[in-house]
Amino acid sequence: MKIRILILLMTLAPVFFGIMPSFGQIMLKGINLTGAEKVWETPSLSSRLIIQKLEEVKASGYNAVRIPLALSYLLDDPRTKSELNRVIKAARKLDMHLVLANFGHELSESSFEPKFEMLIENWEEVLKLVPKNPGKLYIEVANEPDLNPDTWYSAVKLFVPRLQGIREDIPLIIGATNFNSMFELSRMEPWNFENLIYTFHFYEPFLFTHQGTPWTGSQNSTVGIPFPFDAGAMPALDPEAKGTPGEVNYRDYEKTGNQIALEDKLGQIASWAEINGVRLWCTEYGVTQNADTESRQNYLRATKKILEEQGIPGFVWEWEGNFGVKDLIEKSPKE
């Protein structure tokens, strides 16, 4: 029995500590360190807290972090630039890949021009303060832009030259509209710029990954959904989900809630990247803590394995929070 438990732990540890080999251009084991985008909770940027988390995730086997930032708000505080600089230098010292991702930019069709200009000016400020040797730094210009795909496509053509004119050595990470949709991305023609990394977010199947999350509404009110699909373990459809997309997703879950379905979806976007010869990262994937522990482990393990097989660096959402995996990592050696 002890030997069987030891073998199980050796199998689980690479998944939760991020030490399995990757076949992408860069070997990354990524995690999102959230909090700095939630300015209603933490109105100022604290390099001390972020560096503490950098050290935590480094000790857990991660070598890449993505930090969501509400730049348009945080840059109103004159201390933000120096705090950011400390974070950049700390990540370089720890030899970690660091993605700074812009949240809360409020880009929309109705207020595009002022918000777009603010977006670019904010990044220009940040890029000018970055040290000459930034380490492994990346800029994710706008998280989940809420724009018409044509508007966003044209916007990228405008801001890339401006930002690369300041620091062409720092890669820019850019995704598609519709919440960094992989499906929108797969329909796009890549931009004709160097040093770009394309990104998408992966929360399929949505019925499972977002079960019980209040911000997604009644469609995801059904909780207790297992992964992979198990007819005997499926809960009844929550009455509030009837007549919503969640009812359709529940009906189809037998087909969507398994590793083969994940492989099919991720394989499509991997093929797009290969055909177009571009770098591709998945900067968010994860599952809410509303799902049971075993199902969460199954899903994260399966998604990570597929991303690695497709050569796509991935960043788990998130270290701490509603989707946090810190507890999973702390529990796994005891199982």
pLDDT of residue 16 exceeding 90, the answer is no
- How confident is the model over 17-38, as a mean pLDDT? 68
Inside any domain, residue 51:
yes
Q: What are 331's two structure tokens? A: 């529990």
Supply the DSSP string of 95-149, one letter for each residue.
T-EEEEEE------STTHHHHHHHHHHHHHHHHHHS-SS--EEEEE--SS--S-H
Q: What are 18's two structure tokens? A: 């991020």
- Residue 331: what pLDDT? 56
- Contact present, 175 and 182 (Cβ < 8 Å): no
- Residue 333: what pLDDT? 42
Instruction: Identify the DSSP state of 228.
Output: S
Euclidean distance between the first and the last CA atom of the chain, given in angstroms as a whole number: 13
**Cα 272 from Cα 189, distance rounded (Å):** 10
pLDDT of residue 195 exceeding 50, the answer is yes
Inside any domain, residue 92:
yes
Mean pLDDT of the chain: 91
Helix (H) or strand (E) holding 329, with range, is: helix 326-331
Lowest mean pLDDT segment, chosen from 37-46, 185-194, 315-324: 37-46
**Cα 160 from Cα 193, distance rounded (Å):** 8
Inside any domain, residue 96:
yes
Phi-psi region of 212 (alpha: psi -120 to 50; beta: other; left: phi over 0): left
pLDDT of residue 3 exceeding 50, the answer is no
- How confident is the model over 144-158, as a mean pLDDT? 96
Percent of the chain with pLDDT over 90: 84
- Residue 43: what pLDDT? 84
Which residues span the domain enclosing 34?
A: 2-205+279-334
Res. 132 pLDDT band, cuts 50 70 90: confident
- How confident is the model over 128-155, as a mean pLDDT? 94
The CATH number of whichever domain residue 176 belongs to comes to 3.20.20.80
Inside any domain, residue 71:
yes
Inside any domain, residue 186:
yes
Inside any domain, residue 103:
yes
Phi, psi at 39, each rounded to 5°: -70, -15
Q: Please, what is the angle between helix 112-129 and helix 149-164, to 10°?
A: 30
Q: Which residues contact 327 (CB under 8 A, 6 or more apart)?
A: none
Inside any domain, residue 146:
yes
pLDDT of residue 7 exceeding 50, the answer is no
- Residue 212: what pLDDT? 98
- Residue 24: what pLDDT? 40
Q: What is the pLDDT of residues 50-105, one digit of tens each?
A: 999 999 999 999 999 999 999 999 999 999 999 999 999 999 999 999 999 999 89
- Residue 40: what pLDDT? 78
Number of domains in the chain: 1
Other C-beta atoms closer than 10 Å to the C-beta of 109 total 9
Inside any domain, residue 15:
yes
- Residue 95: what pLDDT? 97
- Residue 4: what pLDDT? 44
Closest CA to 144 of 80, 205, 203, 191: 203
Q: What is the pLDDT of residues 220-276, one digit of tens each?
A: 999 999 999 999 999 999 999 999 999 999 999 999 999 999 999 999 999 999 999
Q: Which residues contact 249 (CB under 8 A, 6 or more apart)?
A: 205, 206, 207, 219, 256
Closest CA to 272 of 157, 190, 181: 190
Length of the chain: 335
